[in-house]
């Protein structure tokens, strides 16, 4: 009540110079007090009564009016933030829906790999037996029996003895894909592509693209698949389908 009395005295010109300066400083640093002063001014404009005598009830009414305005402001602020929260919730829901739909419509890397990966048949490779390469025939036999660890050991020996043997390099790479060692498989397929071996490079490109898809590197797979389509390779149909699904 003291603050209100002082505000009324201020408006009535009843404060001395020192008290007036003190109140002015308080008004500068106290926004709530400034709001009360504005309310009193508004009330005075309506009633034309600035006398303190018999004014205590009126001052109480001013305070009540002030609190009502403050509460109204709080309700507006609450409504605003509730609207903001609702908008954020809608955005989150929409984003979640979009991601779920995208997940359903876009096949995963694992599902694409599983759909297109098939071990290369090695029956024709037995023709190498004509050259008396029993070691290679033995490795192919293990490959066909899915005994990949044993086949890997023999294919590595063949490549060590003959680094130009891209047939062994190709089947060694496929053995590594079968044992989920995609890093080593990718390195072997890349080696064949670097050597530009016309017999094995399209097989190497196909299996390398699948390695990239499996390891979630589709941007590396796309150029390989495009080349397989453009050159009308043995894999042109599968490569074309796979490209469409990667977009």
* pLDDT 10s digits, 190-202: 999 999 999 999 9
Determine, yes or no, domain membership for 108.
Answer: no
User: CATH number for the domain including 200?
Assistant: 1.25.40.10
Indicate the pTM of the whole model: 0.57
Same domain flag for 69 and 185: no
Hey, how many other C-beta atoms are within 10 angstroms of the C-beta on 42? 12
Same domain flag for 69 and 190: no
pLDDT in the model for residue 35: 72
* pLDDT 10s digits, 126-137: 554 444 478 999
Which of 56, 80, 104 is a domain's end point?
A: 80
Domain containing 151: what range? 114-246
Same domain flag for 29 and 120: no
* pLDDT 10s digits, 86-111: 565 555 554 454 444 444 445 788 98
Same domain flag for 135 and 75: no
Which of 57, 80, 103 is a domain's end point?
A: 80
Residue 68 banded pLDDT, cuts 50, 70, 90 = low
Q: 167-179 burial, b if ≥16 CB within 10 A, otherwise e?
A: bbbbbbbbbbbbe
Residue 181 banded pLDDT, cuts 50, 70, 90 = very high
* Residue 192 in tokens: 């064949």
Same domain flag for 11 and 132: no
Same domain flag for 61 and 129: no
| C-alpha dist (Å) from residue 46 to 4, 10, 56, 65 | 18, 18, 17, 14
């Amino acid at each position: 009540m003291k603050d209100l009395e002082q505000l009324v005295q201020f408006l009535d010109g009843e404060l001395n110079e020192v008290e007036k300066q003190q109140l002015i400083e308080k008004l500068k640093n106290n926004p709530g007090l400034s709001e009360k002063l504005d309310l009193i001014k508004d009330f005075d404009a309506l009633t034309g009564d600035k006398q303190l005598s018999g004014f205590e009830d009126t001052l109480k009414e001013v305070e009540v009016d002030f609190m009502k305005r403050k509460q109204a402001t709080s309700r507006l602020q609450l409504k605003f933030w509730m609207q903001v929260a609702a908008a954020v919730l809608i955005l989150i829901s929409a984003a979640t829906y979009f991601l779920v739909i995208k997940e359903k419509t876009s096949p995963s890397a694992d599902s694409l790999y599983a759909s297109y990966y098939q071990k290369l048949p090695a029956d024709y490779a037995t023709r190498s037996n004509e050259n008396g390469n029993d070691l290679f025939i033995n490795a192919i036999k293990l490959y066909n029996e899915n005994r990949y660890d044993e086949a890997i050991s023999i294919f590595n020996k063949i490549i060590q003895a003959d680094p130009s043997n891209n047939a062994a390099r190709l089947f060694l790479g496929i053995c590594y894909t079968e044992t989920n060692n995609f890093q080593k498989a990718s390195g072997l397929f890349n080696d064949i592509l670097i050597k530009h071996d016309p017999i094995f490079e399209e097989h190497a490109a196909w299996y390398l693209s699948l390695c990239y898809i499996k390891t979630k590197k589709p941007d590396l797979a796309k150029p390989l698949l495009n080349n397989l389509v453009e050159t009308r390779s043995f894999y042109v149909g599968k490569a074309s389908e796979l490209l469409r699904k990667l977009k």
